Amino acid sequence: IAGITQAPTSQILAAGRRMTLRCTQDMRHNAMYWYRQDLGLGLRLIHYSNTAGTTGKGEVPDGYSVSRANTDDFPLTLASAVPSQTSVYFCASSDSTDSYNEQFFGPGTRLTVL
Amino acid sequence: GQNIDQPTEMTATEGAIVQINCTYQTSGFNGLFWYQQHAGEAPTFLSYNVLDGLEEKGRFSSFLSRSKGYSYLLLKELQMKDSASYLCAVLEADYKLSFGAGTTVTVRA
């Protein structure tokens, strides 16, 4: 089934622990993105990748890292989780060669840091 | 970055029309998206405008005025399933999306 998947669906994590959120797409999109969504703030870009092997910082990158070893996978790592990272995380992908670069979103990961 | 403003909440009756306004300030612009997001789900694409004017797609229409930094999403013949959040997003000059906080629409019988 074509699309974008994320794992885990939800997670409760102790502060200070390391956590990697997984994202995989099978649409052969060159660009991928990580957002966090918080009530009243909307979706905010954490990191992005325009193509395999390259990454860039978004609006709220602190405390997060990403890698893009291949086209399909774009994991997001929290090296040492803090309670302010409690949020819903969405991964998205797009074909940036398209004229309007529509982004397709994964189902999200609900993360709670205690 | 972008300043993107849209109302927080709107309520309407089944069968009615609702217009969700979005204003933005930008130094670069490559288009404006509207996404729909049901509670607990991912955003899904509704519309895209890059030229001034109205784009109609069934019960949903989206309008853009680039000179005014303004867009609206028009939802006609409202149905209960239209209860959701509607996200306005601007595609910046570097082709990244900046989102508004979203408008929660509640449709009542």
What pLDDT, on a 0 to 100 scale, did the predictor assign at position A96?
Answer: 79
| Percent of chain B at pLDDT exceeding 90 | 85
| Percent of chain A at pLDDT exceeding 90 | 88
| The two three-digit tokens of residue A87, written as one number | 């949020």
* Chain A residues touching residue B98 (CB < 8 angstroms): 45, 59
Per-residue pLDDT tens over the stretch A60-87: 999 999 999 999 999 999 999 999 999 9
Please state the rounded mean pLDDT for residues B81-107: 93
Per-residue pLDDT tens over the stretch A45-62: 999 999 999 999 999 999
Please state the rounded mean pLDDT for residues B63-79: 97
Question: Which of B50, B96, B101 is closest, CB to CB, to A48?
Answer: B96
Measured over the CA atoms of residue A64, residue A50, residue A3 and residue B50, the dihedral's sign is positive
Beta-bridge mates of residue A88: A37, A110
Q: Is A38 on the interface with B (CB under 8 A)?
A: no
What pLDDT, on a 0 to 100 scale, did the predictor assign at position A99?
Answer: 67
| The two three-digit tokens of residue B47, written as one number | 């519309």
Contact B95 A96 (CB under 8 A): yes
Is residue A100 predicted with pLDDT exceeding 80?
no
Neighbours of B77 (CB within 10 A): 11
CA atoms within 13 A on the CB side of B14: 5
Q: Report the C-alpha gap between A69 and A16 in whole angstroms.
A: 26
| The two three-digit tokens of residue B100, written as one number | 């508004």
pLDDT band at A98; cut points 50, 70, 90: confident
| Percent of chain B at pLDDT exceeding 70 | 98
CA atoms within 13 A on the CB side of A31: 20
Q: Which tops the pLDDT comparison, B38 or B97?
A: B38
What's the mean pLDDT when you consider all of chain A? Answer: 94
CA atoms within 13 A on the CB side of A53: 0
